[in-house]
Amino acid sequence: MSLESRLWGKAAGLGKDARGADQTHPLICHLLDTAAVAEVVWEQLLTVHQRSMVAEALQVSDGQARTLAAFWAGLHDIGKISVPFQLHRNGPKRGGKLLAQPLSGEPGYVFGAGAVQDRQSHEAAAHWWLVGIFKEIGYPSSKRRPQSQLSHAVAQLLGGHGGHFHPVVYDKDSRCPAARHPGLGVGSWEEQRRIHFDEVRRVLGVESVPQGRMTPGAAVVLTGLVTLSDWLASIEEEIRTRLREEAWAGTPDDLDSYWQIARSAAPRLLQRTDLLGTGFARPPEPAQGAGKPGLGATMALQVPDLVAEHGPGMVVVTAPPSEERTEAALRAAAVLGHAAGARGLFYALPTGSAADSHMAQVHALAEQALTGPWRSLLLHSSSRLKPAEAAEQWAHANAAGGVSPEPGEEWAPAANSWLNSHHRALLAALGTGTVDELLQAVMPVKFNVMRLFALSGKVVVVDEAHARGAWGHGLMLRFLEWAAALRIPVVLAAMAADKSVDAMLAAYRRGAGGDREPVAQPRRSPGWSFVDAQSGGGHLPQQPADAARPSTLSIEVVDGMPYRAIEAALAPIVAAGNGRAAVYRATPAEAIRTFHQLTKDFPSLNVTLIHEQMRNKDRWQRLAACRGAFAPNGGVSGPSVLVTTSMLEHVRGLHFDLVLSGPAPLAALLARATQNVGDRSKLVVLRADNASELDDAALVRRTDLLLGTGRTVALPEELPLVLDEVYADEFADRLEGPAARELQQLDNQRTVREHKASGTARWLAVPGPGELDGDLGLLSRDHTGMEPELLSSVLGEDVVQVVCLYEHGRPGNRVYLLEDGVPEQRLEHGPKKRPVPGQLVPYLIPVPKRLVEGMEGDANNAWRGMAALKNVLRLNLKKSEDGRWMYTGPKHRFCMSEHGLLIDELP
């Protein structure tokens, strides 16, 4: 029997032929396309370490591993030789009839009614069928524990190329998979699967039969390679250049000729990704300065030697938040990246606003440390629709700050870039985003392993590594296990050493195979340590000298009406005619009200407002302006104040003479206080102000009791001590009467929440690399109650992206504008009259989901039918009698102005 070229592999987006029939790409051609791309991905994109993980696991040479990887990639869609796929009602047609329909009338392709009703996906079909044939050609197998051997591991890996691995197929099913899944078909269906298998093997010249095992590291790299190769081989406009004529028969000579076409096209496909050519330059020799070196100098002197002796690993830095700490972390990342042969960096922060504020410093490092072309993306909830367009918008907002690229230096990809997609964006050489982008790699979500693959070729920096609850902390520990197993270089930066930092050190050591002897982070501040990824060994280098500029933080706690206290604290600045202050309020609504009051009561005061419920573009522009206005040397004259919310507590580069804040946990207060400048900085805590609903009530109360009427803290040496003091188990024992009972009750509630969160993290996280036992299906296991909303819970409150549109025109002729009164900013639609998601990125506003619960908004069917906009709430604003743009929902009223979105609860 000869190969059947009528079996199709691709049809969507390929257009129609002269007779009006849907054009198709033969399955065998798509398989060879993918194999050819896999060869180029192996040679040009994978790092040396990624390739060695595969070759060592399979016990073959690098060249043999490359051929096997391409062969396996070429088999990924062999499950499309099945009845449900070939005869799917939405398949390619001519005159309303399926092109593959004639097959069903030929004797060898006869099938029963159960075959059409079989709901097995083509990915799962590939898994089920390949297990048996890999056994036949000599791959190691096991009847009792098939997942432990290569025949099953490769089949399961290929079945997961759609982003989800399938459960183990046991021996009795792999011997006759069509018995359980009649959709696979028998007769000619089975013969064609074998012919396609044999032809891919013959064309690629695969001769070796590996006898190794599939390690977790090899599985991640191979899954990423196969998935990426499939994505590239599926670019529709490229497929159209390789379509075969209808009479093409797929003979061996035809396939050999087509293989050369596929191989010549593959490099061009990879060039489209903007992924090639990026690396780390050799770090410069550290300067030998006089005197005792501080944190940056100590790390610069010792990290290269540690890496040279032990190989890449994880550097943990504990010091008060500052640009110096960020610079030290980035320099360490550059050393690790060069040693590991990494092809990029991902910088993770607790919040999107913090990510926005760090991009300038990350780019400054990239310009010095990265070689070749590099592309930068912004990755957080407000940018996820179109990461490249978010980065471009950020660049426009920051142009005045000197970080916009020169002409020709386009580090942000074009809007139509292949990378401009949520699932692909993490592949970009340079990413700045939120930590949930990392944590999703160890949650059983679609394409989680693709995230691990993208990170396995990079250096990962996690800033403010402690700044999440027990929920996120548990997932971070699991991520660090995987990072160590994949030999991903990591830099962690935290405010102070504590048990959570020790746990992160232990997790990385565990993933690297280190012993279980505890290794604690130095409790002094600043301090740092190193764990090598090769053995998991902990290393305690020479610690930095005391801070070059020690300072004293004066904390004053005041009672009384919050706004009156703010007025009193700002009065000296206004009277003096100079000085800079920051005022933190609990909610955007309170920040807006404070802004208006200060503007009215202090006409000579320069007041700036930034909060999270602003449009992306407005928030980015104001942050860019603040980096100049509130820089250490100051870009403004006269007294100035920034009114904001907790969103800015992790932002760097802003310096104030005075910081005012409502009640908050001590760690948050200290993060805000470190934005003070000078040897004596001051923090005023407004005791009567509202605390954020997201803050833990027990920690807020402990902080209040600890501070009393005020306290002086010597920075940085006393920082770990006061943090340990507020968290101490015996804290409540020092209290008496009602205060002791109140705190005990709050502590008990916090303990219950943390145990619940830790349990949820353990339940939700995928197994560690040492717990897989060969079964990749455990990385995709389904959970009852596993909903997308759980993802945002990693960092706290669930958030919905809102876009507000201004209604203009008369009924029947209405248009919707993204900017009030700016016709050029009309909501655009694509060729199918669907909204253009990328156009909305600058106008998105993050809003707590609890405030829009149950609201459907004004989205039409075209909007709701787009996956990218599924979670974007559209509000069509109407002008009220007093000239304000409003939207009234079931429980809340939304008012949009130049100061952001104000949400009021209806009476």
CB 512 within 8 A of CB 483: no
* Residues 837-850, mean pLDDT to the nearest whole number: 86
DSSP class of residue 614? Answer: S
Q: What is the pTM of this model?
A: 0.91
In this predicted model, what pLDDT tens digit does every residue of 555-579 receive, in sequence order?
999 999 999 999 999 999 999 988 8
At residue 677, the pLDDT reads 64
The helix (run of H) or strand (run of E) holding residue 894 is strand 892-897
At residue 404, the pLDDT reads 44
CB 78 within 8 A of CB 130: yes
At residue 292, the pLDDT reads 62
CA-to-CA dists, residue 424 to 455, 458, 493, angstroms: 12, 15, 27
Query: What is the band of 75 on the pLDDT scale with cuts at 50, 70, 90?
Result: very high
Query: What is the band of 859 on the pLDDT scale with cuts at 50, 70, 90?
Result: confident
CB 321 within 8 A of CB 650: yes
Residues 6+ apart with CB under 8 A from 482: 216, 441, 442, 452, 488, 511, 768, 769
At residue 42, the pLDDT reads 98
* C-alpha count within 13 angstroms, C-beta hemisphere, residue 450: 22
At residue 274, the pLDDT reads 83
* Whether pLDDT at 405 is above 50: no
* Residues 52-60, mean pLDDT to the nearest whole number: 96
SS3 800: strand
* Whether pLDDT at 408 is above 60: no
In this predicted model, what pLDDT tens digit does every residue of 195-242 receive, in sequence order?
999 999 999 999 889 999 999 999 999 999 999 999 999 999 999 999
Lowest mean per-residue pLDDT among 41-45, 397-401, 438-442, 758-762: 397-401
CB 669 within 8 A of CB 649: no
At residue 789, the pLDDT reads 55
Query: What is the band of 287 on the pLDDT scale with cuts at 50, 70, 90?
Result: low
In this predicted model, what pLDDT tens digit does every residue of 320-336 receive, in sequence order?
888 888 889 999 999 99
Query: What is the band of 719 on the pLDDT scale with cuts at 50, 70, 90?
Result: confident
Q: Which two tokens mark 712? A: 């002086």
Per-range mean pLDDT, top range of 222-236, 389-403, 829-843: 222-236
In this predicted model, what pLDDT tens digit does every residue of 691-712 receive, in sequence order?
988 888 999 999 999 999 999 9
In this predicted model, what pLDDT tens digit does every residue of 160-196 receive, in sequence order?
999 999 999 998 888 889 889 999 999 999 999 999 9
| Owner of token pair 């051609």 | 29
* Residues 801-823, mean pLDDT to the nearest whole number: 82
* Whether pLDDT at 77 is above 90: yes
Query: What is the band of 655 on the pLDDT scale with cuts at 50, 70, 90?
Result: confident
At residue 716, the pLDDT reads 82
* Residues 495-502, mean pLDDT to the nearest whole number: 89
- Say what percent of the chain tops pLDDT 70: 93
Phi-psi region of 480 (alpha: psi -120 to 50; beta: other; left: phi over 0): alpha
Mean pLDDT for the chain overall: 87
Strands (E), 538-639: 538-539, 551-558, 580-584, 606-609
CB 456 within 8 A of CB 337: no
* Whether pLDDT at 403 is above 60: no
Q: Which two tokens mark 805? A: 């549109």
Query: What is the band of 548 on the pLDDT scale with cuts at 50, 70, 90?
Result: low
In this predicted model, what pLDDT tens digit does every residue of 429-471 receive, in sequence order?
999 988 888 988 998 888 999 999 999 999 999 998 776 667 6
